[in-house]
Structure 1
Amino acid sequence: MQPDGFTYLARTLIGQQLSVKAAGTIFQRIERLCGGITPDSFLSVAEESLRSAGLSKNKLGYIRNAL
């Protein structure tokens, strides 16, 4: 199954400059917080929660600006 464009973009941005294992862990945490990564679900989660899941401030901004 091919991910939608937003999920692909989010996974790609999260994974930049990280090990595959670290990127996978952070992506899974965010996916659990969002209940599946979609633009609406991503925007509905508080920035502090996304940051505590391991998403950097810069990457959070890049993903939100892609919307």
Structure 2
Amino acid sequence: WSFFQEGLARRLYAFLAPLVLGGREAVPAVGGSGFSAPQEGVKLRFLRVSELSGDLSLVAEVVGV
């Protein structure tokens, strides 16, 4: 989270599997203090979305924090 807050992250690379995990003890995708409302979140613009061996590969540009 601190990389986003400090403006050090320019792109986000992520993989999304067709599997839902969660629960109170689950590890979040992005740690840290986060934000208090959705409109305060990191804004992204998708550059590429593709399928890779049944998963989704996402590449996004950070356009606002």
Select the structure that is richer in helix. Answer: 1
- More strand, by proportion: 2
Q: What interval of TM-score do these two structures reach, taking the shorter chain for normalisation?
A: under 0.3
What TM-score does the superposition give when structure 2 sets the normalisation length? 0.24
Greater length-normalized contact order (CA 8 Å, ≥ 6 residues apart): 2
Pick the structure with greater CA Rg. Answer: 2
TM-score by length of 1: 0.24
